[in-house]
Structure 1
């Protein structure tokens, strides 16, 4: 399955016997045919490769269903997910990741862009009020970017999810919670994103004591409040 933005053209190649007659039907996310039995051309001739192109018009999973007749009989299904163009932008850019990662190939840049979108969605899901806290100054605008950059760098530097390695007499083990080769919001990123959250206004400062008469049995004939005042010389 490939992923494209709504309105972008996606190309799907069906491989079968050379010289076959091949048609393609495009089904929208509801299973309704948007294009029905459109002929495809073998390109190049005699290669058995049949290319179909289409631009999805709505978000969701689209299906390209190929049907071959003639020199062979076959049906093959391919799926494409069209992504909506609306919604907030990523919290960081490919260039910011490249500053720390180094020179990237076009494939790595494409992967980084996809990872940044998903990492940003994960951070926003953890903190639904993120935009409001940044706008109010409660949280630095750099904190969300730093969080998603770190998340993406972990995947780029350890794409296979390596959790331990040995080189000669030396070995090291990675934190298994963040070295899975998948996007993960680590405890460090959570702490980074919550560093600006004010304490609960009802919370007491450390060391404060509030005691009132009636909170415990008056076994010594004095109220707790009176005894506390006596201990502090405040009779």
Structure 2
């Protein structure tokens, strides 16, 4: 069960949620919670320990769902005759996603890393240690 509620989403939205929207929001909040727990499996323990602020989790889950319900079809631009507008993907992506700054609030870094194999080079002295210098 998500930390955020449909009411948390409604409080951050520009209008009250109707019955169908409340049902969808509740379901998508559970989806949001699962997404967070995939990267932070001990989320409940960290909240209990005070390492992660529960209010931050509520805000992140609510914002994740708001990005979805503000633009459920995922439109980026729309034109009607002489009128057109563009929707900011960060505000209303139409997808359930966690932004990099939201991961940072949860203590999850978004940095990339490289996995490099370690092996002995046949022309290097065999010391049992890995060396990065090439011998002529």
Give the TM-score category using the shorter length: 0.5 to 0.7
Does residue 121 in structure 1 map to residue 34 in structure 2?
A: yes
Q: 1:178·1:186 contact (CA, 8 Å) conserved in 2? A: no
- Please state whether the residue corresponding to 1:194 is helix, strand or coil: coil
Q: State the match for 1:172 in structure 2.
A: 86
The correspondence of residues 54-203 of structure 1 with structure 2, limited to 5 A, is 89-101=1-13, 102-165=15-78, 171-172=85-86, 174-175=88-89, 179-194=92-107
Aligned residues: 106
Q: TM-score, normalised by structure 2?
A: 0.67
Q: 1:92·1:149 contact (CA, 8 Å) conserved in 2? A: yes
- Please state whether the residue corresponding to 1:159 is helix, strand or coil: coil
Q: 1:178·1:184 contact (CA, 8 Å) conserved in 2? A: no
- Please state whether the residue corresponding to 2:106 is helix, strand or coil: helix
Post-superposition shift, 1:131? 1.5
Residues 88-137 of structure 1 show CA distances to partners (whole Å, capped at 9, x for unaligned) of x2121111111122211111111111111111111111111212221111
Distance 1:91 1:119 in 2: 10
The higher radius of gyration belongs to 1
Q: 2:60·2:102 contact (CA, 8 Å) conserved in 1? A: yes
Q: State the match for 2:121 in structure 1.
A: none
Distance 2:4 2:73 in 1: 23
Distance 1:171 1:94 in 2: 28
CA separation of 1:179 and 1:116: change in aligned 2, threshold 3 A: same
Distance 1:187 1:103 in 2: 28
Post-superposition shift, 1:181? 1.8
Post-superposition shift, 1:182? 2.2
Q: 1:97·1:149 contact (CA, 8 Å) conserved in 2? A: yes
Q: 1:151·1:185 contact (CA, 8 Å) conserved in 2? A: yes
- Which has the bigger relative contact order, CA under 8 A and spacing at least 6? 2
